[in-house]
Amino acid sequence: MAKVKVKFVCTECGTESPKWMGKCPGCNAWSTMVEETESVVKAPVGRTEANRTKEKARSIIDIESGREPRILTGLEELNRVLGGGLVPGSLLLVGGDPGIGKSTLLLQTASKLAAQGLKVLYVSGEESVRQTKLRADRLGALSDNLFVLCETNLDHVEEAIADVGPDFLVIDSIQTVYRPDVQSAPGSVAQVRECTAHFMRISKGNGVATVLVGHVTKEGAIAGPRLLEHMVDCVLYFEGERHHTYRLLRAVKNRFGSTNEIGIFDMTEDGLREVANPSELFLSERPTGVSGSTVVASMEGTRPVLVELQALVTPTHFPSPRRMTSGIDNQRVSLVVAVLEKRMGMFFQNQDSYVNVAGGIKLDEPATDLAAAVSLASSFKDLPTRPFDVVFGEVGLTGEVRAVSRAEQRVKEAHKLGFKRVILPETSMKGWQPPAGIQVIGVRTVAEALKAALE
C-alpha cells in the first residue's frame, strides 16, 4: 500500500517543510505554509530511475542550430509580445485580474488559428460548453477546427488531447484542473504544480503550443508557487483599468523573445480590437492651453509611445505635504521635486503635488523625469506648456539632464503625430539626424529645459 506523507509547502516560493512554521524559511513570508498530503509508492523491482534509458550528453558544437519555427496567431499585438509568434511545443502562462479579458483574448486567438487550418482544443474548467459557445457567437469565433471541452479531470483532458491531436491547446484555468492520484484539493500547491508539469510533458513531447490561464492574488501575482513561473517558457500578464476600455498584454518572462514588448488592445462589444497606434489613443483627450500638462515619449520595448503626463501643485494646510502619483514611480517624483527645490529654488514644502499619467498607463523608465519636472514647474508657476512640445530625459540629483536610449525613435514618433518641438538631453543627439519639419532642442540642465518649455 502507498504510504501517506504529510508536509507543509509555501504558497509563495514552494519551499517544503516537515512541520508548520509561521514564517517561510525560503522567502521569509508570513502565514504562507499550507498542509499537503502525498502518497509515496515504492518503484517496482527493475523499474528504478537508474535502469531507465537516458539521453546521452552531446557537445554543443555538434548540435544543429536554427531559428525556432513560429506560428502567426493572426493578432499582430500578440505576435509582437511573443517575439514573432507561437513556438510549437512551448508552454505559456497568462495571468490577469478576473474579468479583464483573458478568456476573450485566448478564444479570439484560438479562432484565428483554427481559421488557418490548425486544430485547436479549448478546455474550460470554469464554464460550460454552452457558455463558451455564447461567447464565441458574440466574438464571431466559430470554426470547424475549434474544439471545446468542459472538464477538470486531468486524465479525461489527456484523453481528449489524444483524440483531437491539437496544434494549439488552451487550459482555462490551471487552478481548476486536478490529478485524481494527488491527495489535494484542486487549486492547491500540489495540484497546480503536478498538473503544470504534466502539461509541460505533453507540450514538449507532442509539439503542442499550450496556454495555461492562471488566477492572480490580490497583490496581482499569479496564484500558486513561484515554481509555476519557472516551469513555463513564457509568462504574460493581461492588465488594464476597469474604468478604461484598453488592455495591455505584457511579457515578464519569454524564452523565445524580449520581455520589454507590450501589446495594446481595445475592449469592444465584439471582443478585443488591436490598437495599431497607441499614441493617438492616449493623446485623444489631451487639453491645450492649461498648466501642468506635458507630453512624454516613453519606450515600451521597441515601440515608442507618447502619453500625457499631468501635474497639479496646490497649497496645503497640513504640516506634511502630500506626494501622490498614478502610473509613475512615486520615488522618482519625490526625487524630481527635491531637485526643483534645491536647484531651481521652487518652494514645495507647503504644496501638495499630484502627478498622473493620463489614460491609466504605467511608465517605469527614467526618461519620464524631465517631463515630470516640466509639468510640476508648469503647475507651480501656473504657466501653460506649448501644445506641440514633447519632452523626455533623465534628471540627476545635481540638476543635470542625462541621456536616454532610442532618442531617434522617440523623435520620429513625435514627428509622425504632428508635434513641432522635442526637448531632450543634449548628449542623446549624437549619431543621428532629426527628420525635417521638427525642431530638436538639446538641454544639459533642468534650468535649460524649463526655460525652453515655459518661456
Q: Provide the b/e sequence for 433-444 (b: ≥16 CB within 10 Å).
A: ebeeebebbbbe
Q: Give the confidence band of 136 by pLDDT, cuts at 50, 70, 90.
A: very high
Q: Give the confidence band of 50 by pLDDT, cuts at 50, 70, 90.
A: very low
Percentage of residues of the chain with pLDDT beyond 70: 92
Fold of 281-454: Ribosomal Protein S5; domain 2 (3.30.230)
What is the reported pTM?
Answer: 0.76
Residue 46 has pLDDT above 80, yes or no: no
Residue for grid cell 544543429: 64
Residue-wise pLDDT for 404-426, tens only, equals 999 999 999 999 999 999 999 99
Residue 335 has pLDDT above 60, yes or no: yes
* Ligand-binding site membership of 334 (annotated): no
Residue 346: which of 200, 231, 446 has the closest Cα? 446
What's the mean pLDDT when you consider all of the chain? Answer: 88
* Ligand-binding site membership of 89 (annotated): no
Residue 180: which of 149, 210, 148, 156 has the closest Cα? 156
pLDDT at residue 166, rounded to an integer: 95
Strand ordering across the sheet containing 421-425: 323-326, 351-357, 303-315, 293-300, 389-391, 421-425, 439-443
Range 345-371 average pLDDT: 91
Q: Please identify, in words, the CATH class of the domain defined by 76-276.
A: alpha beta
* Ligand-binding site membership of 99 (annotated): yes
* Ligand-binding site membership of 83 (annotated): no
The cell for 156 is 479525461
Residue-wise pLDDT for 179-216, tens only, equals 988 877 788 788 888 899 999 999 999 999 999 998 87
* Ligand-binding site membership of 270 (annotated): no
CB 363 within 8 A of CB 328: yes
* Ligand-binding site membership of 96 (annotated): yes
Which positions ≥6 away from 63 have C-beta within 8 Å? none
pLDDT at residue 303, rounded to an integer: 84
Which of 239-253, 336-350, 389-403 is the least confident region?
A: 239-253
* 288-292 contacts, C-beta under 8 A, 24 or more apart: 288/387, 289/384, 289/387, 290/384, 291/378, 291/379, 291/381, 291/382, 291/383, 291/384, 291/385, 292/375, 292/376, 292/378, 292/379
Q: Residue 325: what residue type? A: T
Residue 84 has pLDDT above 50, yes or no: yes
* Boundaries of every domain in the chain: 3-43, 76-276, 281-454
Residue-wise pLDDT for 251-304, tens only, equals 989 998 888 788 889 888 889 999 888 888 788 888 888 999 999 999 987 789
Residue-wise pLDDT for 142-188, tens only, equals 999 999 999 999 999 999 999 999 999 999 989 899 998 887 778 87
Distance of alpha carbon 215 from its chain centroid, rounded?
A: 14
- Phi and psi at 136, nearest 5°, equal -65, -35
Count the residues in the chain: 455
User: 262-268 and 271-274: which strand pairing?
Assistant: antiparallel
Residue 247: which of 269, 268, 217 has the closest Cα? 268
Residue-wise pLDDT for 25-36, tens only, equals 888 888 888 887
DSSP 105-169: HHHHHHHHHHHTT--EEEEESSS-HHHHHHHHHHHT---TTEEEEE--BHHHHHHHHHHH--SEE
CB 180 within 8 A of CB 153: yes
* Ligand-binding site membership of 101 (annotated): yes
Identical fold for domains 76-276 and 281-454, yes or no, is no
pLDDT at residue 230, rounded to an integer: 85
Residue 101: which of 245, 276, 220, 222 has the closest Cα? 245
Range 107-119 average pLDDT: 95
Residue-wise pLDDT for 311-323, tens only, equals 999 999 888 899 9
Strand ordering across the sheet containing 146-150: 146-150, 120-124, 168-172, 209-214, 91-96, 234-239, 246-254, 262-268, 271-274
pLDDT at residue 223, rounded to an integer: 61
Residue for grid cell 526643483: 340
